[in-house]
Structure 1
Amino acid sequence: MFRRREPVPFAFIAEADKYRSNVTPPPRERASTGQLVGRGLVGLTVVAGLVGSLLFGMPALSPDQSPAKSQQSEASDGR
């Protein structure tokens, strides 16, 4: 009824870590000038976007001079 399975030897897994292939991978292709320029422009665009978001976001993060008080003072001065 029950099939008896053979135990799996795990020695081959330990030996696989030591295995080194003698086949070298092909050399990587050098990026063309156009690809390098494109990568540089993409990087520059990302950095410019981050700097721009900081420049536009800093006024929103700074504490206001409470415009509600200035409106109230103008209303009280008008009486």
Structure 2
Amino acid sequence: MSCDRDLTLDEALADPVIGAALRADRVDPRQFETLLRCTARRLDSRRGPASRPTAALAARGPGRPAAGGCPAW
């Protein structure tokens, strides 16, 4: 990974240091992922259709809420 760019969500979620911090703080990694992806969708929806993520990035997986179904933590 280059030092001149931000991590993608997938890179951040796979990062061992972030994983260690989540474990130390007793944060469920699946809930953290859901929160990050939901927040990304909300921010993306404010930018307009030209900046929509690809279908692969937006795809739902296990433990993720339905479109627009962001949890209220």
Which structure has more RCO (C-alpha within 8 Å, separation ≥ 6)? 2
Q: Taking structure 1 as the reference length, what is the TM-score of the superposition?
A: 0.28
